[in-house]
């Protein structure tokens, strides 16, 4: 990676969106009124919003001008064909089924392939993917390599699937119990960690050997391809699109939340490499849930922005700056003594909340406490991915079951913030570090049965 001092953002800013930092007293009041849940804050009360990198990208002049040639015909709009051409050129897939966002594409895929009691294998399924598998009373099985779960190991491809375990699972079951393999790129849940080309190729060979479909969750495929270029000597002279075409050639199809690497605010799709019969089946479901085959829940203008975003998201200089900015934030946090997941991932920095606040017991939610302190300190909003998000109460004993990690995710929106914003984040951490012994933790006073972190309420421990 080039030194970040030697280049600047590969764009200049033509349109701006004002953001304001409320004073500390106001922030303290607002977060109390929000029951210490950042999802309850109004966005206008947030200064730097790191809740997600999804749908939060700044679009380019080229994308906005594309929106003006949105063809809103019910059937056969020009923008659909532009999307088709983009996918054929960038990932080499012939059939595309547009959807309103990524989870809608998952819904169609799971409806096609998954039924009760089956096991869906993957490196690490994202929450909504798991949700769709469970809705069908099937089981999501995560087979990421062991290194992927250790925040301190500096492995270049911590999103890789464990191939021995994959083969074991495939070998022991009869074909009807495993309908699908899904490789998520990059792996969001363990820190935006990439999957290597070798791993994808080998997983594909196993899928062929045991005759199972293999799909890619392509939400952050361009960032994944950039890591392959950086970390695998054989690909250093290949373009991102050459790498993408090879990577996708190893799968039968993909789902994509285009709200990430396609640089749009809404949209998604399901795509198939070459199986026309799958495409026709998918369209039947798409028509019920999303819309006709050439718009699938999106306006023509959204399809155009998406097609153009796919090209921009796979530009070398854009990716260098994007990954470079996340790396800039991560390495400055490491220098400031903040414990983070290593190596630094593609779409954000994942802080180890428990190690940062070791005096707060797990039951008093150190990850959530850190997220709240960041808001109080500087108006920064981020998300806890620890006890509150992934823990749960044992239905039999009522006992709290803790997830392996207590992470806080600082997800960086694409092309939206500058390095000055990154500096403010680092300074906020430094200030919290100085007084962290006085932070007391929280207790959860309300929780819903599923996905409790979205609606939970908390109180500060006095």
Active site residues: 74, 126-127, 217, 219, 260, 453
> In 350-386, which ranges are continuous DSSP H helix?
353-356, 366-378
Minimum CB–partner distance for residue 194 and ligand F0G (Å): 12
Compute the least distance from the CB of residue 105 to ligand F0G, in Å. 8
Asked if residue 257 binds ligand F0G (CB under 6 A), the reply is yes
CA–CA distance, 199 with 156 (Å, rounded to integer): 12
Question: Are the CB atoms for 31 and 8 separated by under 8 Å?
Answer: no
**102 forms part of the interface with ligand F0G (CB under 6 A):** yes
- By C-alpha distance, which of 317, 397, 339 is closest to 9? 317
Smaller CB distance to ligand F0G: residue 365 or 383?
383
Matching residue, tokens 């509150």 = 388
> Binding marks (x or -) toward ligand F0G, 50..79, rule CB under 6 A?
--x-x-------------------------
Contact with ligand F0G (CB under 6 A) among 103, 134, 327, 393: 103
In sequence order, what are the beta bridge partners of 380?
48
Q: Which residue number is nearest to ligand F0G in terms of Cβ?
A: 102
CA angle 339, 340, 344 (to 5 degrees): 150
Stretch near ligand F0G under the rule CB under 6 A, chosen from 27-35, 100-108, 164-172, 295-303 = 100-108
Least distance from C-beta 159 to ligand F0G, angstroms?
A: 10
Is residue 367 within 8 A of residue 387, CB to CB? The reply is yes
For the chain, first and last CA: distance in Å? 47
Asked if 268 is part of the footprint of ligand F0G (rule: CB under 6 A), the reply reads yes
User: Taking the complex as a whole, how short is the minimal distance between the CB of residue 88 and ligand F0G, in angstroms?
Assistant: 22
Question: Minimum distance from CB of 371 to ligand F0G (Å)?
Answer: 14
* Least distance in angstroms from the C-beta of 284 to ligand F0G: 21
Task: Decide whether 383 or 439 has the Cβ nearer to ligand F0G.
Answer: 383
Residue 148 in contact with ligand F0G, rule: CB under 6 A: no
Nearer to ligand F0G, 169 or 223 (CB): 223
Q: How far is the CB of 2 from ligand F0G (least distance, A)?
A: 27
CA pair distance 32, 137, nearest whole angstrom: 38
Spatial CA neighbour of 102 closest among 254, 276, 281: 254
E-strand stretches of 77-224 = 95-99, 119-122, 139-142, 180-184, 214-217
* 101 binding ligand F0G? (CB under 6 A): yes
Please identify which residue in the block is written with the tokens 């196993």: 206
**Cβ distance to ligand F0G smaller for residue 264 or 372:** 264
Q: Is 259 in the site for ligand F0G (CB under 6 A)?
A: yes
Distances in Å between the Cα of 205 and the Cα atoms of 60, 156, 179, 184, 427 are: 39, 22, 16, 17, 48
Site for ligand F0G in 112-131 (CB under 6 A): 126, 128
> Site map for ligand F0G, 352-391, x if CB under 6 A?
----------------------------------------
Q: Restricting to residues 177-216, name those near ligand F0G by CB under 6 A.
A: 184, 188
Give how far Cα 321 sits from Cα of 141, 302, 315, 332, 417, Å: 34, 25, 10, 16, 12
The distance from CA 403 to its chain's CA centroid, rounded to whole angstroms, is: 19
| Residues in touch with ligand F0G (CB under 6 A) | 52, 54, 101-103, 126, 128, 184, 188, 217, 219, 257, 259, 268
């Amino acid at each position: 990676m080039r030194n970040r001092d030697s280049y600047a953002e590969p764009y200049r800013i033509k349109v701006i969106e004002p953001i304001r930092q409320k004073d500390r007293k106001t922030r303290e009041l607002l977060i109390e009124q929000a029951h210490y849940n950042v999802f309850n804050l109004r966005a206008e009360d947030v200064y730097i919003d790191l809740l997600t990198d999804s749908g939060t990208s700044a679009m380019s002049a080229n994308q906005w001008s594309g929106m003006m040639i949105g063809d809103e015909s019910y059937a056969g709009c020009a923008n659909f064909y532009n999307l088709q051409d983009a996918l054929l050129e960038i990932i080499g897939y012939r059939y595309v089924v547009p959807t309103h966002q990524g989870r809608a594409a998952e819904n169609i895929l799971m409806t096609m392939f998954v039924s009760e009691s089956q096991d869906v294998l993957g490196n690490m399924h994202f929450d909504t993917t798991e949700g769709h598998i469970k809705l069908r009373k099937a089981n999501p099985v995560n087979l990421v390599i062991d290194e992927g779960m250790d925040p301190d190991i500096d492995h270049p491809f911590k999103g890789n699937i464990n191939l021995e375990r994959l083969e074991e699972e495939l070998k022991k079951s009869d074909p009807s119990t495993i309908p699908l393999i899904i490789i998520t790129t990059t792996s969001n849940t363990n820190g935006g960690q990439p999957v290597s080309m070798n791993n994808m190729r080998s997983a594909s060979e196993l899928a062929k050997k045991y005759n199972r479909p293999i799909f890619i969750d392509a939400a952050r495929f361009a960032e994944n391809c950039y890591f392959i270029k950086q970390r695998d000597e054989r690909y250093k002279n290949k373009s991102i699109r050459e790498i993408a075409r090879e990577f996708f050639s190893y799968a039968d199809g993909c789902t994509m939340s285009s709200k990430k690497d396609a640089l749009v605010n809404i949209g998604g799709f399901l795509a198939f490499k070459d199986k026309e019969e799958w495409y026709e089946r998918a369209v039947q479901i798409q028509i019920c849930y999303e819309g006709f085959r050439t718009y699938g829940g999106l306006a023509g203008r959204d399809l155009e922005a998406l097609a153009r975003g796919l090209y921009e998201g796979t530009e070398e200089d854009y990716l260098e700056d994007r990954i470079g900015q996340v790396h800039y934030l991560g390495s400055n946090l490491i220098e400031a003594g903040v414990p983070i997941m290593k190596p630094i991932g593609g779409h954000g920095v994942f802080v180890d909340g428990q190690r940062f606040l070791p005096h707060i017991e797990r039951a008093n939610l150190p990850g959530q406490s850190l997220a709240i302190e960041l808001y109080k300190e500087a108006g920064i909003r981020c998300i806890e991915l620890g006890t509150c998000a992934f823990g749960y109460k044992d239905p039999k004993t009522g006992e709290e079951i803790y997830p392996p990690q207590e992470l806080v995710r600082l997800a960086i929106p694409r092309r939206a913030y500058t390095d000055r914003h990154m500096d403010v984040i680092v300074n906020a951490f430094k200030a919290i570090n100085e007084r962290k012994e006085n932070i007391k933790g929280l207790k959860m006073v309300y929780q819903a049965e599923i996905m409790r972190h979205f609606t939970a309420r908390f109180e500060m421990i006095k």
